[in-house]
Amino acid sequence: MTQVVIATKNRGKVKDFEAIFGPLGYEVVTMLDVAPDMDIEETGTTFEENAVLKAETLSAALQTMVIADDSGLAIDALHGEPGVYSARYAGDHDDEANIQKALRNLQGETNRQARFVCVIAVAEPNKETYYVRGECEGEITTEKRGTNGFGYDPIFYVPTLNKTMAELTPEQKSTISHRGAAIAKLKEKL
Ligand SMILES: O=c1[nH]c(=O)c2ncn([C@@H]3O[C@H](COP(=O)(O)OP(=O)(O)OP(=O)(O)O)[C@@H](O)[C@H]3O)c2[nH]1
Ligand SMILES: [Mg+2]
């Protein structure tokens, strides 16, 4: 089975990637498998910078092709926050605290428009790194709904499906999500 190496330690992302790459016959391998002790500091101020940083760092260490995903939630009424800081908005990778902070900051706000953004970078030794970007439009709810997914999925409402991201199966999520959109673009290039 062909392996695809992903520079992530986020189990939620891994599930999303497996839902897409699994049916295509790829085995998804992540930092949790091959570099659990490695920490890549995300010093960039854009999704693109951080995705490239993660892909190139792990690719250099393993001397193989590596894919990285840097993603987040941009809320219009909060001027694009939490953006690249989505994972650490209220506490390092504390999804529940992050959700509560977003809901608190939007209390009484009628403009609930937001989008998920996902930038996927591909780095390979002696080749030029490239990236693709996918986005998904939605609205922030006033309370959590659904138990699938990760991060802000329970408060991200997708009007076209009348469901939050957390009410979708990983397969359904992949057909409409920012990650699915980015991977669709990636497939054209791989
Ligand atoms: O509800 C969500 N559904 C999604 O589909 C999604 N995609 C991203 N996010 C949020 O944005 C952060 C990424 O930050 P991020 O790209 O730095 O990843 P991470 O730090 O979690 O893992 P790693 O890949 O860096 O190891 C995540 O933690 C989440 O808070 C999502 N939330
Ligand atoms: Mg991260």
Question: pLDDT, tens digit, for every residue of 79-124?
Answer: 999 999 999 999 889 999 999 999 999 999 999 999 999 999 999 9
Q: Is residue 161 over pLDDT 90? A: yes
Tell me what the mean pLDDT of segment 139-146 comes to: 98
Query: Cα separations (Å) of 81 from 7, 144, 146?
Result: 24, 19, 23
Residues with CB under 5 Å of ion ligand 2 are 87
Q: Is residue 190 over pLDDT 90? A: no
Task: Report percent pLDDT > 70 for the chain.
Answer: 100
What pLDDT does 19 receive?
Answer: 87
In a mutational test of the pocket of ligand 1, which residue from 73, 101, 164, 171 has the highest number of ligand atoms less than 8 Å from its CB? 73
Kind and range of the H or E run holding 103:
helix 95-105
CA-nearest residue, atom 18 of ligand 1? 70
Q: Is residue 127 over pLDDT 90? A: yes
CA-nearest residue, atom 16 of ligand 1? 70
Q: Which backbone phi and psi does 129 adopt, to 5 degrees?
A: -70, 140
**Confidence category of residue 187, pLDDT binned at 50, 70, 90:** confident
Which residues does the annotation mark as catalytic? 70
What pLDDT does 4 receive?
Answer: 94
What pLDDT does 24 receive?
Answer: 87
What pLDDT does 122 receive?
Answer: 97
What pLDDT does 60 receive?
Answer: 97
- SS3 category, 110: coil
Burial of 114 (0-12, 13-18, 19+ CB in 10 A): buried
CA-nearest residue, atom 9 of ligand 1? 72
pTM as predicted: 0.96
What pLDDT does 75 receive?
Answer: 98
For residue range 64-82, list pLDDT tens digits in order. 999 999 999 999 999 999 9
In a mutational test of the pocket of ligand 1, which residue from 101, 152, 156, 176 has the highest number of ligand atoms less than 8 Å from its CB? 152
Mean pLDDT for all residues in the chain: 96
CA of 93 to the centre of ligand 1 (A): 8
CA of 84 to the centre of ligand 1 (A): 9
What pairing do the DSSP bridges indicate for beta strands 130-140 and 156-158? Answer: antiparallel
Maximum separation of any 2 CA atoms in the chain, in Å:
52
CA-nearest residue, atom 23 of ligand 1? 8
Q: Looking at the CA of residue 70, tell me the nearest atom of ligand 1.
A: 16
Please name which ligand lies nearest the alpha carbon of 10: 1
